[in-house]
Structures are given as structure tokens and as C-alpha cells.
Amino acid sequence: MSVQSIGTVWSWTGFIAFILLMLALDLGVFHRTPRSISWREALAWSLTWIGLAAAFCVGLHVSAGSGPALEFSAGFLLEKALAVDNIFVFVVIFRAFGVPAQVQHRVLRWGVLGALAMRAMFIFLGSAFIQRFHWAMYAFGGLLVFTGLRLAFEQKSETDHQPNAALRFITRLLPATSEFVGDRFTVVQNGRRYATPLLMTLVSIEVSDLIFAVDSIPAIFAVTRDPFLVFTSNIFAIMGLRSLYFVLAALIDKFVYLKPALALVLVFVGAKMALAELYPISILASVSAIACILGIALLASLWRRARPDASPVPARDAQQLAEGS
């Protein structure tokens, strides 16, 4: 099974060059020095990336038609929603390690770069695998349905998200200090190199990125099989992940219906992928369904928080959530 991609050599080259330029500006100019990121600055960067994705979608519509533009929109919306779930885990990890607010940006910088590399690898491997083995679509669809059901019914504590096996492996290679040393990942003491808690945090972030990549890549193939659209929608969603974290960190507990909504979205796209030969669903219907599920979850969460009998997040806990301590 072959998939005709709209991506040409020039479009791939141009997009990758654009992303590298934006990374250089973001990490090398605007956020070169580790510091605490304000909510307004994070919101501005989040809106910038959403605006760039929207402009890219308009460009797709003009150059390739409404079909690819809708597929990109569905992929971006899906990956953005899954990225919010990723932020849940980031908040838990930062709180578990007590990472100071002024160095969280440094961890997220490397975490996002690692996520970009892993997503690119999984996308190209997954695309080649699907084109070679048609039955992989059914396997991916079943995996997504299983993941959605697991997400809907799982009952995990915050500590369950910590990749303890990876941390134990790192501490066997490098002994660890108990205190942070500025924004350094390792430090030399008495002639011996030690890992700091910041490195432990980064390892946890990267492992969580790997886990989310395994879940999200099959999901994106459920709405489009074009490697260029899969890649671009993923990259746009991931590039805004760091700034989105600082926007949502203090508000994340208010999205009480996000996980059930994401579970339903995963079951929907998994069923769409597995039953594509029998009951094909148009991309417009897919975009509408995903948007409706997420929109209803957001409105329901806001309604619940507005109820007089709802339990508000204590101010101290909200502040700790924002600061990661």
C-alpha cells in the first residue's frame, strides 16, 4: 500500500529550515538565559505557534486544496490535545523533584528537543511500516482503542508517572546529589562527577515523551497517512509544548474532564483506523468530532469549577503547581 505525499523535496527542506530557524530564535535569542517564564510571555509564544500553524494550514489550502488542509487541522488538533495530557505528567514530575521555577525552562528546552527527535523517528518508521504492511493499520487502531480504554479506567497516583527504572539505571552510571546546583545537570565534587536532581528530572521528562510518542503517532496516522502532514502537524504541536506548559501549569487541575475526553478521542480515532475499510469516516467528520469532544470537555470543566459546591484548588497548591515545588 503506497501513500501519495504532497511533500516535495523543496517543501520538506523549507519546512525543516523554518523550524530550525525558529528553534534558533526561541532557544538561542529569546530564551537563552534560564529564568522564570511569565504567564503573559508563555501565552504570547503559545499563540505565536498556533498562529504559525494556522498560517501553514492556509498555505496548504491554497497550494494543495482543502483535503490536505483539513487533514493537517485534524492532526494538529489531536496532537495538541494529547500534548495537554503530556503537560499533566510534566507538572507531576516537576512537583515530585521540587524543580525551581527558574530552571524548569531549561529542562523543558531539552525535553522538547528530545520529543522532536523521537517523533521524527517514529513518524518515518511508522509511515514505512504502514506502507509495507497494510495490516498495521488494524494493529494501530486496536492499540489506540486499548490505550483510550486504559486511560478511561486507570487509577494512578502521581508517583506512578515517575520512570523509576530509568532513574535507577542513571544512578548506577552516575551517583546523584540531593541538592540542585543552579541549572546544571551534572557537577564535579571531590574529583568525581555527580548527577543533579535536574538531570533526574530531564530523564523522567524524556521517558514520558517516549511513552507519549508511542501513543500519539498511531493516533495521527488515523487522520492522515501523508508523511508530510503527519510530520508538520506533530512538529507544530510539539514546538508550542514548552510555552503551553507555563500557560497551563497553574490551571491544569481545573480541566477535570480532559482525561475522559482524550480517552474518547483515542477510542474514536482507533475505531476509525481499524474500521476504515468497512465504515470510512470523512476527514471533515473526524475534525468535527475531535473538536466537539474536546470543546464539550472544556466547557464541562469550566461549568464544574463555576459551581458553588465545587472544590476550588487552594491558593497555596495552585502556586506550588505553577512553581513546580
pLDDT in tens, 4-52: 567 688 888 999 898 888 888 776 666 666 566 777 888 888 888 899 9
Residue 218 Cα distances to 79, 136, 267, 268, 286, angstroms: 11, 10, 12, 13, 15
The pLDDT value given to residue 253: 63
Secondary structure element (H or E) that encloses residue 186, with its range:
strand 186-189
CB count in 10 Å sphere of residue 306: 8
- pLDDT band per the 50, 70, 90 thresholds, residue 59: very high
Q: In this predicted model, what pLDDT tens digit does every residue of 91-136 receive, in sequence order?
A: 777 877 888 877 888 888 888 888 788 878 877 777 777 667 666 6
The cell numbers describing 309, all together, are: 459546591
- pLDDT band per the 50, 70, 90 thresholds, residue 72: very high
User: What is the Rg, in whole angstroms, of the alpha carbon atoms belonging to the chain?
Assistant: 20
* Residue 71 and residue 223 in contact, taking contact as beta carbons nearer than 8 Å: yes
**261-278: average pLDDT:** 76
Residue 215 Cα distances to 162, 168, 235, 283, angstroms: 17, 24, 16, 20
- Least confident window among 17-26, 267-276, 311-320: 311-320
Look over the chain and give the mean of its residue pLDDT values, rounded to a whole number: 75
Residue 209: pLDDT above 70? yes
Cα atoms in the 13 Å half-sphere on the side-chain side of 169: 7
DSSP code of 159? G
Secondary structure element (H or E) that encloses residue 193, with its range:
strand 192-195
- Least confident window among 100-104, 112-116, 261-265, 315-319: 315-319
* Residue 56 and residue 232 in contact, taking contact as beta carbons nearer than 8 Å: yes
The cell numbers describing 280, all together, are: 470510512
The cell numbers describing 307, all together, are: 459551581
**CA atoms of 143 and 145, how far apart (whole Å):** 6
Pairwise pLDDT comparison (178 vs 77), residue with the higher score: 77
